[in-house]
Structures are given as C-alpha cells and as structure tokens.
Structure 1
C-alpha cells in the first residue's frame, strides 16, 4: 500500500488555453481567460463574468454518435482524457481492460443537457425529451463515458466534494494503483455555464458581482468580493512508478502525500496540510510552493492564510493562485492546479496570481502579477469544497 504513484499524462481544457501547450503558454505569462459571459444572456443576473472556454468544437474531436448523448462537460472530459492518454503514450486497446480505471470528480453533472431537455418537456411534451437524459445529467457520466470510449473496466467511480473533488479523485486513484490497478485516468472537469447552473451558483453567495475582469477575482486582497466561476479542468494519467519505468514513460512527478478533513473552521485546513505532509514524510521546509484554494472571500481567505502561516511561518513559502486567470472551475479547479504544479516543476517557474494586491495582514508570500523563477521539487495543492471539505496534496518532482 506504499508503492510510489506517478503522473505520466496531462489533459487540460481551460478558459485561457485549450490543451496543455496553449494553457501553459498563457498561464506562465499571466494571460487571463475571464471575461463577459457569452454562453447565454446574463443581463438579469448579478454576476456577469465567467471563465469560458473558447474555440471548442466537439465535432472536431469526437465521433458524431456521441454528440446527441453528451453534455458539454462530458465532451470536454472525453477530449481531456484523450489528450492525457496521448500525452502518456498509452493506447488503451493494448492494455487489459480490467487493469485500467477511471475516477473523476463532479460538482453538478450535465446541467446544460438537463436544462435543454426540461425546456422540451415544458414546451412540447414528454415525447420530445431525449432518452439520453436518463444518464447525461448524472454526476458519474464523465467516468462512464470515458470508460466506455476507452474500454476501461477496472476500479472506477466518481467523487462529489465540490471544489475539493479534483484532489479527492486523484487520491482515490492513487489508492487503486497501490492495490494493483495498472493505470487510472483521474481528475475533474466541470461546466456549469448555463442559465440553470448560473442560478444554482448564485445561491452560495460567493460569486463576484464586479463587472471589471481585472477586479472581479482578487484572493487575499482587501478588495476581494467573491470568486468568478469558470468551466474546464484537467485529467491526469496515474501509474505506479515501476510500471511507468518499465515502459519508459516520461514522468511529470509523484503524488507523494494526501489528506482530507471535514471542518469549515480554522483547524480543518491546517490539519489537512499537516497530515498530507506526514503522508509524504516531509517537513514544511521541504515545500517549495503552495497552490492556494484562494476563495476570494474575506473570512475564507483569512482561514487559509492562517493555516499556511501556522504551518510554514510568516511569509515562509511562495503561494500562488493561477485560478485567478481561469475562475474557479469547481471540481475542475484542483485538478487543474495539480497539472499546473507539474508544469511549474518542469520549467522551474511559479505562475502568477494576476491582478491581486495581497494585503500584508495575511502574512503570505503571494506571487503577484509576474511569474517567479524557482527550483520546484515539491508543491502543495490545497482545495476546499462548500460546507467544510478540505483537501491537501503534496507533489514531488
């Protein structure tokens, strides 16, 4: 149960870059994908900005038979999985079906598909509702469609822990690899940018209603007014280190430690960090960068900052929040942060936290508008889900 588990492939769909190359090219220089919401008319809603993915044409990437049965989130997930497998140099057809699994996280499932079918129900009648509605809305649909497309019949599932889900899904994949599964596709993609999803997101009271893209999402800043929602995320290919070595795979790094707690107050997040470091057999001084949850809500920012200061000391480690360029992608956010951390390690570059002017009172060494060069051997990624989910994951190059 202690085998080293590594990441050999990345598949990224993000508002500031479709595909790993475009995403990293934008992120390393601080290019934001946040702007006015265009997928529907948001005029009457308080929040009018989002991180939207532009230029994604599903028919260019997927067979036509899949399009009528899939929501946007599933199409993005299928493409991210394809890219991750290609990046890892893996052809699923060459591997035993029961040696491969799929574990994803989701915050909502196929909301836009359901919205369109409900519109048909109300306006035309039940006979006009697609039979695919029976599963296209479901939280587990991304796991199911990826597994079917790639013939993956090993341990699979879905995790529903809001923004913490991306880390929790990868952690579950790590457990399955340690139990003997050869390969697991893991991570998360979310897409809630439809009018039904938008109503639901507003109920949290945490969406920023600032209409200037450069001022809307400012974590650890005295001007913080909530987060901007976005769509997308990342899927990763996990294998045992021995398996990756045997096939000569390129390795991004290791999932070295993980922990989760359930407590929305101060001790919960700090405890998750401490337990993740213990799981990785590391001291706080070993960590080279922290990828913050970065809620951009003053009380939540305070809790996160105090947890980091308690563990690492005042300005003890560089902290970054590249999600200020994409918005919070819900389950997809933490998975994208994992991918970003591996790309940071490869280049020796900590991506910026755009627009934010960090308040001194938080005591953080927040990487600002300019990226920072550094030798990065170990990264800590944090994520919190609404209601008290806390997750922490330690990555080692």
Structure 2
C-alpha cells in the first residue's frame, strides 16, 4: 500500500468520458467551447442584485439559467444556487458520457466536489429572515443548504451514487484537487466518479466576503476589468458556475473519451512563510513526474492568471523556470468568465480537454498587452492550431492552495464552427 492509499501497482488509467458545463460563457459544453473560440465574453455589470453601492461592479453570470429547467422543483427551495448549478452540470456530464448510474453498482460510484464559501445566497436570505422577522422564520434547510458538502450530498442522492463521496475546500485550486481525488478513487475500487465544482458568489453577502481578500478588480468596464499578465492588471473579476466531469477507468470504458488524467500534484504557500520561494514550480515538476513526462512533452499551459501583478509575476516565473522563457504556449480563457472560485479549475480542465481534442489552443481574449518581463508565450488575438497532445492546468486558491493537473488527449471532442482555419492558426510540432 502506498502513502496515498493506492495499492502498489494498482493505479488505473483515469479517463474523462463526459463533460458538463454551466458557465458565464454558456450552458453546455458546446456553447462554452463556441464562446471560447470566438472570444465571446461572459463578463458584464452585475444583474443578480444592484451593485451600485459596492466597489465591484463587474462579474461573470451564467446567462439564462433557471433552476426549474434543470432540477426537480422540490429541491429548489431546499438548496442554494451553487448546488442548482452543480446538479445541472453533473446531469450533463452523465448524459454526455451515456451513463445510467442506476445500471451500475451503487457502492462503486463516487462524487467529489470542490467548494469555496458554500451557499452564500441561501444563507444571506435566512439571516435576513432572522434579523427582520425572528427565529421562527428561519427554515430547517439553513442547517445544510449553505454547507460546503451540500452539493456532494445532493448529487449523490439524486443519482444513487453511494460509494466514496467528499468535498475539497481549497477554493480556486479545488477543481483540480477533486479530479486528482477522482483518479485515486478509481485505483481503490470505484468504477465511476463525478468530479468538479461550481460556485455562486454573486450576492451581496458573497461579494462582501470576497472583498476583504483584496484581489477583486474595481474597474467598471467589463473589457478592462480582468487583464492577467497585462501592464494594466488590477485584479480579477468574480464569476459563477463551473463544470463537472465524468471520470472512469480506461479499462472499463469501451467507448471514446475526451482525455486522460495523467498527473497531479498539490502544494501550499502559507503566508507567514514569506521569503521562501513560491511552491508552484515544485508542484508543476511533481505533476509532470507523476505523469512520467518531461517538460518538453507539454503542448499548452492553462494558467491560473490571478490578475494582480505580483501574483502574475510569480506564476510567470514558475512557468519559465520549468519550461524556459517562451518554452510553451500559455493561455487563460478565464478572461471570458472571471475567476469562478470552486468552479474555476474544473472549467479550465474541461476547456483544456476540448482544446486537446480539437487540436486548438484557445486564445486569451481581451486585447492584453503583456508586461515586458512576462517571459511567456501567451496565445493572444486568435486561437492557435498546433495540435497539442498534452495540457497542464494550473490553479491557486486563496490562502496558498496550489495544484497542477496534466491531461492527455483522447479520441473524442466537440466540434465547433469557430475552430480556426488551418491557414490562420499557425503550425507547430505536436506535443
């Protein structure tokens, strides 16, 4: 038995067989991919409440999402929006994989989600009832709807998945941590794991809770508010939504898949340890070692792209330390969605898998002008067709959580009319 709990020699090849997306770029993986390739932004002035009295005006909201269209009506008043979004994404991920959980052994099906601040909107409404009307107006579901693990429980209950289930609270890094845990569970006897994350921080309480961290952009122009690696970078834009992935063993799966989870690693940068080098470069190297790959095998890096100059410089240094200056194409499609907290890294992983299948590196939209010392080969202006075969996804969560996931291409993708013409996208060696 290894230190990770995986029996020696038992590690299985974990593949992604279904993708479910609920994001500011659209509901459904195809709509999201179309928007990414077209550079269609989902950022705009907040509409879920009046943001006039708040320093942050811009966010990424899921367009046209109505909970009643995706989940049973009885669940809506019992759960928060972050769970509504998750139930919709999880259903799509199962449908996309053509999986009927009821036809599989229930104790061999798992659910692993990422969570950040939990059900803030539900909690806010219940606190309003408490302070305005009294304790008798607080509903029984306040005890569970806000909870970090509420989504895991609801997805598990809805689909009869009674195997290993859990939640990882590492904010933006959580989506990668959930996928790393999904791979581990397949090596310990699970047949299938739904893994991913969603978040719904766009309510007054949720927004105020994020303001104290000091990373949010206060620029009111959606086109200028979130510019990672740019000389005018001033913070990030918050967003809601995320993605779920159906993860199965390649040995069990006979149909096609989007790609494989090849390597994973995590680390931590606690603030009191100032003066020590950031952990990201080490995490990247360990993820590559776990995948048994050299840096030259990586075809594209999906950056964390925090949006603050110091954090962007730290990430750029880590990438160039491992790959060399301009040594690998780097992209950050999250400029179209904002940072989705618990949902962000899972959405990046889904986007990376779609990119590998299509042979396209999506661009970082927004007309960025990288700083002179950036040192990265940022994919700008339009997608680049270089047919990458592996992708590295990076994520850093509030407080120091740091994760990296290496993905390998599969034999399935979602085609889009927005994919670049062979003559426009440029050429490069396959990686």
The correspondence of residues 74-153 of structure 1 with structure 2, limited to 5 A, is: 74-153=83-162
How many Å separate the matches in 2 of 1:136 and 1:70?
A: 5
The correspondence of residues 161-310 of structure 1 with structure 2, limited to 5 A, is: 161-245=170-254, 249-263=255-269, 266-310=277-321
Q: Which residue of 1 aligns with 2:377?
A: 365
Deviates more, 1:40-49 or 1:258-267: 258-267
Q: Which residue of 1 aligns with 2:38?
A: 29
Q: Which residue of 2 aligns with 1:389?
A: 401
* 2:332 paired with 1:321: yes
Describe the SS at the equivalent of 2:370: coil
Q: Tell whether the 8 Å contact from 1:259 to 1:393 is kept in structure 2 after alignment.
A: yes
How many Å separate the matches in 2 of 1:161 and 1:67?
A: 26
TM-score by length of 1: 0.98
Describe the SS at the equivalent of 1:205: coil
* 2:60 paired with 1:60: no
Gaps of 5+ in 1: none
Deviation for aligned residue 1:338: 0.3
Q: Which residue of 2 aligns with 1:19?
A: 28
How many Å separate the matches in 2 of 1:207 and 1:70?
A: 27
Gaps of 5+ in 2: 1-9, 271-275, 410-431
How many Å separate the matches in 1 of 2:98 and 2:372?
A: 46
How many Å separate the matches in 1 of 2:237 and 2:381?
A: 18
Q: Report Cα offsets for 1:106-165 as digits up to 9, x if no partner.
A: 001111001011111111111111111110000000000000000000001000011100
Deviation for aligned residue 1:166: 0.5
How many Å separate the matches in 1 of 2:73 and 2:296?
A: 52
Deviation for aligned residue 1:60: 1.4
Deviation for aligned residue 1:250: 2.0
How many Å separate the matches in 1 of 2:194 and 2:387?
A: 28
Q: Which residue of 2 aligns with 1:351?
A: 362
Choose from 335, 340, 344 the match for 2:351.
340
Deviates more, 1:173-182 or 1:259-268: 259-268
How many Å separate the matches in 1 of 2:356 and 2:408?
A: 9
How many Å separate the matches in 2 of 1:266 and 1:294?
A: 18
- Root mean square deviation of aligned Cα: 0.9
Deviation for aligned residue 1:266: 3.6
Deviation for aligned residue 1:2: 2.1
Between the two proteins, the alignment pairs up a number of residues equal to 394
How many Å separate the matches in 2 of 1:171 and 1:122?
A: 42
Q: Which residue of 2 aligns with 1:46?
A: 55
Q: Tell whether the 8 Å contact from 1:266 to 1:307 is kept in structure 2 after alignment.
A: no
Deviation for aligned residue 1:390: 0.9
Q: Which runs of 4+ in 1 moved over 3 A?
A: 264-267
How many Å separate the matches in 2 of 1:162 and 1:393?
A: 16
